[in-house]
Amino acid sequence: MVKDQNYLENKASYCLDLAKKLGATDISVFVGNSISETVNFRNKKLDESNRSDNLGIDITTYIGKKKSSISSSNLLNDNLNILIEKCIETTKNTPEDEFNSLPDKDLLAKEVKDLNLYDDNHIENDDKIKYLSRLEIAASNDKRIVNTESSFVEDKSNFILANSDGFCKGFKTSSFIASSVVVAKDDKSMERDYEYNQKCHLKDIKNAEELGKKAAEQTIKKLSPKKIGSEKIAIIFDKRIAKGILSTFASAISSSAISRGTSFLKDKINQKIFSDTINVLDKPDILKGLGSKSFDSEGVKIDTLKLVEQGILNHYLIDTYNGKKLNLKSNGRCGGTSNLYFENGKISFKDLINSNSKSLYITETIGHGSNIVTGDYSVGATGFLIENGEFKYPINEITIAGNFKDMFQNITLANDLEFEYSVNSPTMMVEGMVVAGK
């Protein structure tokens, strides 16, 4: 069992009191405990089973506008005494920064909403093994499958965040993750794909046979890929890839990138950066949401933001430090977004793939080809050629390129949004991208 709130609160309070006595003008303390159990299979056999129990503390002390932090996994009081003394001494010798401070007191969360993020149920290792045995059998059902790996992870965590302005709150979360990685081979190629499922509650995890079967099917479809020539063409991004584009957008509107001037979206508030049909939301109060929370990593209350409305950028993601640099108040996004997503489009998946006589459907990208300073995007990719709405054959060894300024204006979204991750997107089409092939 993870440590209860009382234990974590007591440790946080001890650190706050001692740091004040030693001269800190402000203090922030994070105390967290997480327990993780993992079972791994390889080729239908048990490969590994392990358990980890992590207990840690992060202490940040301020003396005026001076600030320093220290962390440890040893929460014995004797060790905490030494840690805080060292942190105070380091703070005294740290240069001042006018933007250092705790969050504004009136922005701190007043309550922790019950978002149903914790499941008390525990799945014993024997049951994890049974689940993975069924998954591996389903994933290995075709003779072209030459290798399988799968895992089941159960995580339980609890934390307290406290500061010298009287904030002291935290909550429990749980996570159950099942995944399957499959390698298939024929006389022309060897391909790899995966299926993955993560939920807060055990009962919501996909059926083992369904997950294994899907991983195998997706891999087999990629066998015997063909090469294509270079051209300018509509690109359709599978939901797994489309969410990565949304993550890049989030990085580009983070207040740290904006305050440094290292984003192509600086000075774009209240300007149109997407087409009229595009809306982007960050919603922290989705029940059982993988990114759901009541406050950010500074304790600031977090509310739903319509980041983009009818193509217009309304907000940056603002934390306290960078917000002060920009003369803006924190909107509870220290540590990033919560449940970030594109709202559904108005076109079905079928109509989307039929909207061009020829397009490419991308299922995997290779490399980190997103430059948020310039907006340039260039990645290796694999996927499928679509002609007249039909998936013709798999393709590989291509590079797709564009610039986000243009890409954002040419996005069409399907109406197939699902909340499988903390960042989610419907299937996405971007017109007029450059493809470099053979």
Tokens, residue 378: 């260039």
Q: What is the mean pLDDT of residues 129-143?
A: 96
Q: Which of 271, 266, 280 is nearest to 338 (CA)?
A: 280
Taking the C-alpha atoms of residue 411 and residue 345, their distance in angstroms, rounded to an integer, is 10
**Interval 343-396: pLDDT, tens:** 999 999 999 999 999 999 999 999 888 999 999 999 999 999 999 999 999 999
Q: Which residues pair with 242 in a beta bridge?
A: none
Tokens, residue 427: 């299937």
Taking the C-alpha atoms of residue 172 and residue 120, their distance in angstroms, rounded to an integer, is 10
- State what percent of residues in the chain have pLDDT above 70: 100
Q: Left (φ > 0), alpha (ψ -120 to 50) or beta: where does 150 sit?
A: beta
pLDDT of residue 296: 98
- Beta-sheet strands, E only, within 87-209: 145-163, 168-169, 172-185, 190-199
Flag the least confident range among 303-312, 342-351, 364-373, 424-433.
364-373
pLDDT of residue 437: 85
Looking at residue 291, its amino acid is G
Tokens, residue 235: 């690109």
What does pLDDT average to over the chain? 96
DSSP annotation of 262 = -
Tell me the pLDDT band of 226, cut-offs 50, 70 and 90.
Answer: very high
| Position 438 pLDDT exceeds 80 | no
| Position 12 pLDDT exceeds 90 | yes
Asked if the 5-220 domain carries CATH number 3.30.2290.10, the reply is yes
Burial class (CB in 10 A: 0-12, 13-18, 19+), 22: middle
pLDDT of residue 341: 98
Q: What is the mean pLDDT of residues 121-132?
A: 96
**Interval 315-347: pLDDT, tens:** 999 999 999 999 999 999 999 999 999 999 999
Tell me the pLDDT band of 6, cut-offs 50, 70 and 90.
Answer: very high
What is the widest separation between alpha-carbon atoms in the chain? 73
Looking at residue 110, its amino acid is K
- For 35-39, the CB contacts below 8 A with 24+ separation are 35/1, 35/2, 35/155, 35/156, 35/157, 36/153, 36/154, 36/155, 36/156, 37/125, 37/128, 37/153, 37/154, 38/151, 38/152, 38/153, 38/154, 39/125, 39/128, 39/129, 39/132, 39/151, 39/152
Q: Which residues pair with 369 in a beta bridge?
A: none
Q: Which of 366, 359, 355 is nearest to 398 (CA)?
A: 366
Taking the C-alpha atoms of residue 192 and residue 2, their distance in angstroms, rounded to an integer, is 37
Tell me the pLDDT band of 172, cut-offs 50, 70 and 90.
Answer: very high
Q: What is the mean pLDDT of residues 22-29?
A: 97
pLDDT of residue 109: 98
Q: State the span(s) of the chain assigned CATH 3.30.2290.10.
A: 5-220
Instruction: Give the number of other CB atoms < 10 A from CB of residue 187.
Output: 6
**Interval 51-91: pLDDT, tens:** 999 999 999 999 999 999 999 999 999 999 999 999 999 99
pLDDT of residue 154: 98
Note whether 168 and 160 are within 8 A (CB). Answer: yes
Task: Give the pTM.
Answer: 0.95
Tell me the pLDDT band of 305, cut-offs 50, 70 and 90.
Answer: very high
Note whether 162 and 10 are within 8 A (CB). Answer: no
Q: Which of 237, 239, 261 is nearest to 373 (CA)?
A: 261
Taking the C-alpha atoms of residue 365 and residue 361, their distance in angstroms, rounded to an integer, is 11
What is the phi/psi pair of residue 103, to 5°?
A: -65, 155
pLDDT of residue 167: 98
